[in-house]
Amino acid sequence: MTVLGERRGVAAELAPTAPVPDGGAWRPEHGAGDRRFAQVGPLTLESGAVLEEVTLAYETWGTLDADRGNAVLVLHALTGDSHVLGPAGPAHPSPGWWEEMVGPGRPIDTDRHFVIAPNVLGGCQGSTGPSSPAPDGRPWGSRFPAVTTRDQVAAERRLREELRIPGWALVIGGSMGGMRAIEWGVTHPDEVRRLGVIASSARATADQIAWNSAQIAAIEVDPGFHGGDYYHLPAAEGPHLGLGIARRIAHTTYRTAEELETRFGNRPQGREDPLDGQGRHQITSYLDHHAAKLARRFDANSYLTLARSMSTHDVGRGRGGLEAALGRVRARTLVVAIDSDRLFPPALVDEMAEHIEHVDRHLARSPIGHDAFLTAHPGLAEWISELMDG
């Protein structure tokens, strides 16, 4: 990741003021790229609402064995998508997000395994979500119902059935993807042989919910939000400012104070002068940059939907508590905490691991913080390889 070059003030180049011409959500005219699409039928949600037609976008790598037993499910985080491998392009706004761990000869080896990565229910990169058409042909917008982690796993299970895969050799994910992974292990223990939960937890904490609430509020107070019904507007008039603020808040929780201090300190950005009230610090420019990137590739309503689903995550809800729920997991499980993670601290990850019977737990050491699960970490590569070979 790089810091934006020299620039004076908050000019048009700054992210939230310069979104892509047609907004951040994928649309058919962008082209399918490497995506495939599965129609998985109607889905009754935990809220009681019914989505009559659910589509899941997904991508695959590798070859399915004759017995269909080598399938791996990789689950993305909040602003991720199905594009685990491959370059960016017109259909894919970002390059593959986990190429260090998935691919030929990688810990999740696509020469040996058939890897499937779906875009989550409620997302904005091809799966049914707020930006996709409702039965009346208009975007769902504010009418899109609340979805939970369990609803998302229910949709992914429909995808498994649609692809006629009997079970998973591995279900793995980090952060929000880890929430879905542990939900898979609890809800469908007979369908998961191995489980990888990276920098994640079995429940949302008050701290996580608080950060999510601040991000949600930033989007909802944007004058361009229009209560969630903004898809008829030019992208420049939509809620990209609020989405950019939400991203700034979130990105701060993904990194550590120590890393930011080492990289940026209180230095000004180029020749800009913060003392005049217009110039920025390097850290401000860095956050502006990440706000810009997200505003160009993500939908604000999807951000709200997924942040809320994370806040309601709790595998113990209605199952007698965490200990009873996690006792249902039968998979050989890898649980990894990051020592500097302030969003999913090691104690929270340990709370989950201590109630799983067949578990290997590890502590990854990194100065980066939560985002370390996305980087080339030698320990993580080793531990995933051991899980796959076991």
Among 341, 355, 362, 366, which one carries the catalytic annotation? 341
pLDDT at 7 over 90: no
At residue 3 the predicted structure's pLDDT band, cuts being 50, 70 and 90, is very low
240, 289, 355, 370: which one is catalytic? 370
Q: Which of 94, 175, 302, 340 is an active site residue?
A: 175
**119 vs 56: CA distance, rounded Å:** 6
Q: Any catalytic annotation for residue 370?
A: yes
pLDDT at residue 344 tops 70: yes
Tokens of 226: 């229009």
Per-residue pLDDT, averaged over 225-249, amounts to: 95
Strand-pair category, 114-118 with 50-61: antiparallel
Of 236, 232, 178, 233, nearest in space to 208 by CA: 178
pLDDT at residue 14 is higher than 70 = no
**Longest CA span, the chain:** 67
> Is there a domain that residue 140 lies in?
yes
Question: Is 279 a member of any domain?
Answer: yes
The answer as to whether 60 is a domain residue is: yes
**Looking at the domain assignment, is residue 9 inside a domain?**
no
CB within 8 Å of 107: residues ≥ 6 apart: 101, 380, 381, 382, 384, 385, 388
**pLDDT value at position 236?**
86
Pairing of strands 50-61, 36-44: antiparallel
CATH number at residue 340: 3.40.50.1820
Question: Tokens representing 69?
Answer: 């037993």
35 pLDDT higher than 90 = yes
**Percentage of the chain exceeding pLDDT 90:** 91
**Is residue 7 situated within a structural domain?**
no
The answer on pLDDT for 12 being more than 70 is no
What does pTM read for this prediction?
0.94
Residue 139 DSSP label: B
Q: Which domain holds residue 217?
A: 15-389
Q: Is the pLDDT of residue 13 over 90?
A: no
The percentage of residues in the chain with a pLDDT greater than 70, rounded to a whole number, is: 94
Domain membership of residue 1 (yes or no) is no
Interval 274-325: pLDDT, tens: 999 999 999 999 999 999 999 999 999 999 999 999 999 999 999 999 999 9
E strand or H helix at 337, and its extent?
A: strand 332-338
In the chain, how many domains are there?
Answer: 1
What confidence tier does 235 reach under pLDDT thresholds 50, 70, 90? confident
pLDDT in tens, 153-175: 999 999 999 999 999 999 999 99
The answer to whether position 248 is within a domain reads: yes
Gap between the Cα atoms of 241 and 219, Å rounded: 8
The verdict on residue 333 lying in a domain is yes
